[in-house]
Structures are given as C-alpha cells and as structure tokens.
Amino acid sequence: MYKTKNTTKEALKALKIKNQDEIEDLTGSKLDPVKAWEVIKSTSEDFNKSDVKAQEADALLYKMLHPEMQKKKDNKGDTEIIRLQEKERARALELLELELLIAA
C-alpha cells in the first residue's frame, strides 16, 4: 500500500531535491523529504491506515527516491506510442490506396 514504508531516514536525507529555490519561492520553505515522510507516516497511522492524500504523497516521494523506476515506465509508454503511431500511418496509407483505386 505504502511504497516508502521501509525507507530509511538516511536515504531521505541523502535525497537531492531539484528546483529547491523554486519550491521555496512558491511555498515559503524548502522541501524536506524527512519531514514529508514523517507526515505521511503519522497521517497513515504508521502506514497502517489507508489515506488517499498520504498515498499520493507516498507515491510522489517514492518517485523522487527511485527515478530509475519512472524511466523504465516511460520507455514502455514510448514504445506503445510509437506502435500506435505506426498503426495510424498504416491505416492512413490503406485509406489513400483505396481513395486512389476509387478515383481511377
């Protein structure tokens, strides 16, 4: 249910936050992964209670901790998009061939 349940505080402290200045400008404070994890933990009652907001925050924090997992998913999505585009082009060519046969 919660992906960051077994994450250590050391791993959270080692996490480098991109665009920390922009986050601080928008929110008034820096993003602290340890505090975020602690809020998720307390809101979910030590990762035992199902809470929609806590699960969303957990998923986002997990993506930050494991960006390589997101890249693998993106590659699968890219492959699917390419295949759909190929099918779309093939259909367009078939339609063009039919139009040429009808016009002839």
First-residue to last-residue Cα distance in the chain: 62
Tokens representing 6 are 């077994």
| Model confidence at 38: pLDDT above 90 | yes
Say what the pTM is: 0.64
- The pLDDT, as a whole number, for residue 70 is 66
Tell me what the mean pLDDT of segment 52-79 comes to.
Answer: 81
The helix/strand/coil state of 76 is helix
Tokens 């933990």 locate to 41
- The pLDDT, as a whole number, for residue 5 is 93
